[in-house]
Amino acid sequence: MSDDFELAALLGEAPATPDPDFRFDVLARTAERARRRQARQNAFRVTTMFALIGLVFPLAHTFGLGLTQLQPLLLVAGLLGVAYVLALWTLEGPRAVLARSRAVLRLPL
């Protein structure tokens, strides 16, 4: 009974052959973790973006800029925002005409 292999066998044995169910579970967990990580990154990006947008007004107010002085800047920012959304829709939207080009270039958005 003092034999190492017997002790090891009593403590716990490995499966005799590779278990396909185990592999499937590992891959499912891997994909789930990747999805969660992506979701966390997206949430962080969106939160940061809105926080920065929200910071613009108090900062401008601190430096003595009113809404009238900020109007040209806001107009440009708004136009850039709309352009970004349109570009995103063209690349990733339901009728993504440039989706193929993006896939070829492997562009991360």
Partner 1 sequence: MDSGEEARLIGLARGGDYAAFGRLVDAHQGAVRAFLRRVTGNYADADDLAQEAFARTWEVLYRFDGTSALRTFICGVAFQYWRRARRSQSRREARETAYADLSDTQTDENPERAAQRLALRKAMEELPQDQRAALALCLGQDFTHAEAAEILGLPLGTVKSHVSRGRARLQVAFGVAGVER
Residue ranges that bind partner 1, judged by CB under 8 A:
1-2, 4-5, 7-15, 18-20, 22-23, 25-27, 29-31, 33-34, 37
Residue positions counted in the chain: 109
The least CB distance from residue 29 to partner 1, in Å, is: 4
Sign of CA dihedral 72, 77, 82, 86: positive
The least CB distance from residue 35 to partner 1, in Å, is: 12
Check if the beta carbon of residue 57 is closer than 8 Å to that of residue 65: no
| CB closer to partner 1, 19 vs 76 | 19
Check if the beta carbon of residue 57 is closer than 8 Å to that of residue 74: no
| CB closer to partner 1, 15 vs 58 | 15
| CB closer to partner 1, 9 vs 75 | 9
CA 52, CA 71: separation in Å to the nearest integer? 18
